[in-house]
Amino acid sequence: MANCAIIGVSDWSKARDGLLALADALEAGKVGEPADYRLNFASAAQLLSELPPRRLDTLREVKRAGPVSIYAVAKALLRNYSNVHADVQKLIEHGLIEKDEGGRVFVPWDDVVVRVDASLLQAA
């Protein structure tokens, strides 16, 4: 199991600077330690659009119960199967949930952290 998934907001200049620093380190022959998984969005609005509260509830339930069937998640959340299935598919796309050989879903991270800087919540 990997370490931690960190979800947040990052502008392109921060991402570019981080990638350039990583490229320089790799070019210098420095091999880094295993890193946390980072999922960044361009804005707080985009983060909240992709990961609304119900989808985060789905993620939380899969983390609590997994590996588990999508049906069991829907039942535990008292939600419609098709809506939970759509949420799980989106969470898989974002790398926050995976499926095992039996089709059960699970969260491959020890912890999932969502970080939103309060200054980013201001309207642009």
**pLDDT tens column, 48-97:** 999 999 999 999 999 999 899 999 999 999 999 999 999 999 999 999 99
Sign of CA dihedral 79, 85, 91, 95: positive
Distance CA 73, CA 57 (A): 10
Provide the CATH number for the domain around residue 33: 1.10.10.10
In a domain, 123, yes or no: no
In a domain, 124, yes or no: no
User: What is the reported pTM?
Assistant: 0.77
In a domain, 80, yes or no: yes
Domain that holds residue 37: 2-118
Counting the structural domains of the chain, the total is 1
124 has a pLDDT exceeding 60? no
Of the two residues 13 and 42, the one the predictor is more confident about is 42
